[in-house]
Structures are given as structure tokens and as C-alpha cells.
Amino acid sequence: MSVTTDTLTKPALVRIDGVHKYYGQHHVLRGIDMTVRQGEVSVLIGPSGSGKSTLLRCVNMLETINAGRIHVNDELVGYRERGGRLHDMNAKQIAAQRREIGMVFQRFNLFPHRTVLQNIIEAPTQVKRQSKAAAKTRAMELLERVGLVHRANHYPAQLSGGQQQRVAIARALAMDPELMLFDEPTSALDPELVGEVLNVMKELAASGMTMIVVTHEIAFAREVGDTLTFMDGGVVVESGDPREIIANPQHDRTKEFLARVL
């Protein structure tokens, strides 16, 4: 599974430099540096409240950062640099940037009033102005990929959690993103449904997708991850090869955390 050696030579797709984020007085991200190369699976772990979700949400501008820079594909995220000053992006520019980044949420967030197929073609038809027929064809390919072709005309409420999350992945992929963000995609699932979602993610990783995955599934991190980053209290405590970190954590906080989740 390991593609570490190839990806190390690939160019960086995501560059996070010295990022700080405050919620009011609450200093949530305290200088995060992180690089994700093209095709890399970067796994983010850490205790609850350490800022993992916040970091992911900053990457696709669901939150704004207060200091530092985030680049995706060498493009500054959320701002335009003009005359040596940063200008806020307008809604149109932000939406355009988000199209390159897919996101999968802990609670799926499928559109309940739309069927599986309608969920998947919504953004391609509405945002990318694809024809309905083309979008449907593509949607069916994606559904085949996640093993849910036979559920195309079902409503989300008719699906199990695992199936819903697989649809959510297909929906994000329908926009042909360069980067996929996963925020604890299996945390809301019954244990027996976790595997089917991780399998889809594993296959996606094997197909060369660049992914940042927040998860508590250490086995997934070890098997699929190219890098593992451990966050605590809004800082990166440790980062490197997943197998090495899991087998031999350097910091006490990492040791403590791994002892609890393993």
C-alpha cells in the first residue's frame, strides 16, 4: 500500500504555514505547519478539541484563518494578494476555490429531500453547468465505485449510515476535486459499518487521490496513510511515517493518546 517513496518527490498540493485561528479569545490553532504532497494520504489524529476539524475547515474556507497562509495548488486560499496587501475573496472566488476541494463530514450531511442520484448531480449540474445526462452518467460511475448503484433512486433516510457516507464520498468526487478532506468519516457509524467506508477510502487513496483524513482509526492510518500528524492543543506535536510513529512515538502526549485509542 505504501506509496511514500513516490509521493515524497511529488510537488506539494497543500501548504499550511504558521496558521493561527481564534474563536473570539479562544486560540484554537497555534501556528500549524503542514505539507501535503500530490497523491499523499495525510492522516490527522489527536484528542477531541485539539483543532483537527478547525484545521480542515480552514483549508476549504468554512472558517477564516487569523494568521499564516494556506496554499492549495500554489493558490492562496481565501485571499487575493494585490499591491502587497491581502484582500478578502468575494463569494464567487471562494466558491470557485472550493470546487477543487471535496469534503466528507462526520454526519454525512446528504440532502435528505433528494435521492442519492440527485444528491450527486446537484453540484455538477448547478455549479459546473454539466448537462443532466452527463452528470447522471458520471454519478452512476461513481456509485458503482462505491458499490451503491442499486441505491441510486433511494432517499438518504432509506440507507444505512455506511451507505450514506459512501454516497457522500461519491457526491464530493462528482466535482472532480484535486483534494479530499475527511472529518472523522466513520465516527458516527455503527462498528460493523466502518469497514465499508474505510474500504472506499482505501480504494480512493490507491487511485492517487490526495487526501487529508481526520480519524481515530489507527489501523487505517498505519495501512493507508503516507504521513501521520498528531495534533494536541492546537499545535502539531509530531509528524512523520505512520508506522514509525505508531510503533515508536517520540512524545509523551502522543504515547498517551495512542495508548488510549489503540
User: Which one of the spans 51-59, 83-91, 92-100, 130-138 is the region binding Mg ion (CB under 5 A)?
Assistant: 51-59
| Shortest reach from residue 93's CB to Mg ion, in Å | 27
Q: Which of 172, 179, 234, 235 is nearest to 12 (CA)?
A: 179
Which range binds other proteins by CB under 8 A, 36-44, 46-54, 80-88, 139-147?
A: 139-147
Strand, helix or coil for residue 66: coil
In the set 2, 131, 137, 187, which binds other proteins (CB under 8 A)? Answer: 137
User: What does R_g of the chain's alpha carbons equal in angstroms?
Assistant: 18
b (16+ CB within 10 A) / e for 84-121: eeeeebeeeebeebbbbbbbbbbebebeeeebbbbbbb
Q: Which is nearer to other proteins, 71 or 99 (CB)?
A: 99
The interaxial angle of helices 132-145 and 116-126, nearest 10 deg, is 130
Q: Which of 196, 217, 232, 238 binds other proteins (CB under 8 A)?
A: 196
Pick from 7, 38, 42, 54: which binds ligand ADP (CB under 6 A)?
A: 54
Q: Site for other proteins (CB under 8 A): how many residues? A: 55
- Name which of 7 and 53 has its Cβ closer to ligand ADP: 53
Interaction between residue 233 and other proteins (CB under 8 A): no
* Closest distance of CB 245 from other proteins, Å: 26
Distance CA 30, CA 53 (A): 14
The alpha carbon of residue 37 and the mean position of all alpha carbons in its chain are separated, in whole angstroms, by 14
Q: Give the dihedral sign, CA 55/124/137/176.
A: negative
| Contact with other proteins (CB under 8 A) among 92, 129, 191, 259 | 92
Choice from 49, 112, 208, 240 touching ligand ADP (CB under 6 A): 49
22 binds ligand ADP (CB under 6 A): no
Query: Is 101 within 8 Å of 60 (Cβ atoms)?
Result: yes
Given a contact cutoff of 8 angstroms between Cβ atoms, the answer to whether 77 and 71 are in contact is yes
> All 3 cell numbers of residue 15?
501548504
Is residue 107 a contact residue for other proteins (CB under 8 A)? yes
Q: Which of 2, 23, 137, 176 binds ligand ADP (CB under 6 A)?
A: 23
Does position 53 interact with Mg ion (CB under 5 A)? The reply is yes
The DSSP element (H or E) to which 118 belongs, if any, is helix 116-126
3-state class (DSSP) for residue 86: strand
Residues 222 and 44: their CA atoms lie apart, in Å, by 12
Contact residues toward ligand ADP (CB under 6 A) are: 23, 26, 28, 46, 48-54
Contact residues toward other proteins (CB under 8 A) are: 60, 62, 91-92, 95-96, 98-99, 101-103, 105, 107, 109-115, 117, 122-123, 126-127, 133, 136-137, 140-141, 144, 146-158, 168, 171-172, 175, 195-196, 199-200, 202-203, 206
Contact residues toward Mg ion (CB under 5 A) are: 53
